[in-house]
Amino acid sequence: MSIYSDKVMDHFTNPRNVGEIENPDGVGEEGNPVCGDMMTFYIRVEDNRLKDIKFKTFGCGAAIAVSSMVSEMGMGKTLEEAMKITPQSVADELEGLPKNKFHCSNLGAQALQKAIEDYRSKKQNGGVREVVAPSKKQEEIKHICCPFCESDLGEEESPFCQACHREVPYCSKCHEPLSKDATVCPHCGTVI
């Protein structure tokens, strides 16, 4: 019996909107250095609506399925509607994700939001790209993976993984989780 729903398996084996848009209106990238998933979304905007969405994802089957679903959920929506796509709504559309893969839905929703923020920033600055800090809402939504067993640690910054019972290393400066053999924090650059 599969741990993934039929919908997750369908979006993994038949992903929609894969690829890259040439000269996109906005690009958003999001990744989790601990588990290695990386998503990049490309958008084309017309009349304040997402006319086209493409993505490239490096990661597990859940990450690919999430990217595919997020692209379908955002297609044709206004920018304001697309910004309201949440990790939970993505997981719900996929008929659930295993607990240790829920972080993938965070990455997908955040990557699309970053692409929209990139578009808005370019439009506001006459086409000049500007780095946009994550919104407060994005900063509040974070699920952390154990670097040893990839179990979801939830939103708690617990020093131990409940699944494998190993101590999870955290950066002393930014308090983000680190990979088991990190020498430099991938989040803030602090030497460990």
Active site residues: 35, 104
Integer Rg of the chain from CA: 17
Structure tokens at 58: 């490096």
d(CA 28, CA 158): 29
Give the pairing of strands 26-31 and 38-46.
antiparallel
Residue of 21, 60, 15 whose CA lies nearest to 40:
21
Contact 151, 169 (CB under 8 A): no
